[in-house]
Each structure stands twice: as C-alpha cells, then as structure tokens.
A = this chain, B = another copy of it.
Amino acid sequence: MDTRADNQVRPPARADAAAELGWLAIDAENCPVRRTLDVVGEKWSLLILRDAVNGVRRFDDFRRHVGMSDAVLSDRLRKLTASGLLETRPYREPGARSRLEYRVTAKGWELWPVLLALKQFGDRHHGDPAGLMLEIRHTDCGAPVHVTVACADGHTHLTHRDVTVRPGPAARPLADPEH
C-alpha cells in the first residue's frame, strides 16, 4: 500500500456559528494545537506563543489560561524572550508596582505558519465534535484561512509528491558514519 496517495493539504471545514467569547474566557483544554503537541512534542513554548498571538500579554494570564506552573512559565518566557520571539515592555496598574508584559516580535510572528499548520492538523484529527474552537478568516473576503505549500512561480496546493528535495550547499557528509 502506497500511503502517499492521500497527502493533499486541505483547508479546514467551515464553522457554522461563532460565539463571541474573548480568548481569555475560553477553556483551552480542547485546543487542537495543544492536542497536536501532546502527540508530537513538548508543548509549553508553542502554547505560550499560541496565547501570545491571540493577545495574551501578562504572566498571570498565561499561567491561568495555558495552565502551567510559575516555574515552567518563567523558564519558557525567559527562553522565548532571549530567542527574540517575545519582547518585554513595562506596564503599571494603578497603585501597583511596575511589571513586564510580553509581546510577540516580528520574528515571533514568523512562527505563525507553524501554529496554523499545527491547528490545521489538530482541527482535522483531534477536533471537537462541536466544530472549530477558533475560526480564522480572511478579513477582506470572509473565506476561511489555511496553510498551503506553494512555489515561487505561483503554483499552490503542492503536496510532497509535487516537490524534489535535494541537498543544498550547507549539506555536509557525516563525519564518522558507522558503516
């Protein structure tokens, strides 16, 4: 059986309705990105980024909404900031001391396609029976948005069967292959 035949990257299904909840009011338990990362990898850093691209900025909000310990959150925020994916800005609430909030940098936004691709997979394979948890639409035309593979000459919806992979100039031989 050749399992490559069904590799078309499909757009997510349309959702029928959208309740107007703020992001912080939504239970993230059934988030498809989270479920996908439960399968394919350590998840905290990408879940923090997921929240950050959805507008979460403050430590306590990350902690509560993502659902993680102070220690792990502090560690991951430090690494994300050191990597230039998040940047800090001071803020001060009336009567309180100055604190830091976290914002996605231009470099951090470049991981948006990774998050969307994880969401797309999660929507298809770990979705909620009720439909999408978040729907993302093109603001101008209202059509649902998806991640696709395209080439520089404008051909879209490419699958792995449409491409040729070759070593580039940075490909070097293994120094000490075992055989």
| Contact surface of A with B, Cβ cutoff 8 Å | 3-7, 9, 11, 15-21, 23-27, 30, 37, 39-46, 49, 53-54, 64-65, 79, 83, 85, 87, 103-114, 116-118, 120-121, 124-125, 127-141, 143-153, 155-156, 158-160, 162-175, 177-178
Nearest B residue to A44 by beta-carbon distance? B41
Q: How far is the CB of A58 from chain B (nearest CB, A)?
A: 12
Indicate the member of A24, A108, A146 with the most B CB atoms within 10 Å.
Answer: A146
Taking CB atoms, residues of chain B closer than 8 Å to A141 are 151, 153, 155
Knowing that A7-B109, A53-B160 touch, tell me 5 more A-B residue pairs with CB under 8 angstroms. Answer: A6-B109, A41-B44, A110-B120, A131-B168, A148-B150
- Copy count, this protein chain: 2
Q: Are B9 and A174 in contact (CB under 8 A)?
A: no
Q: Are A114 and B117 in contact (CB under 8 A)?
A: yes
Nearest B residue to A55 by beta-carbon distance? B165
Beyond A25-B177, A173-B27, A174-B27, whether A147 also contacts B144 by CB under 8 A is no
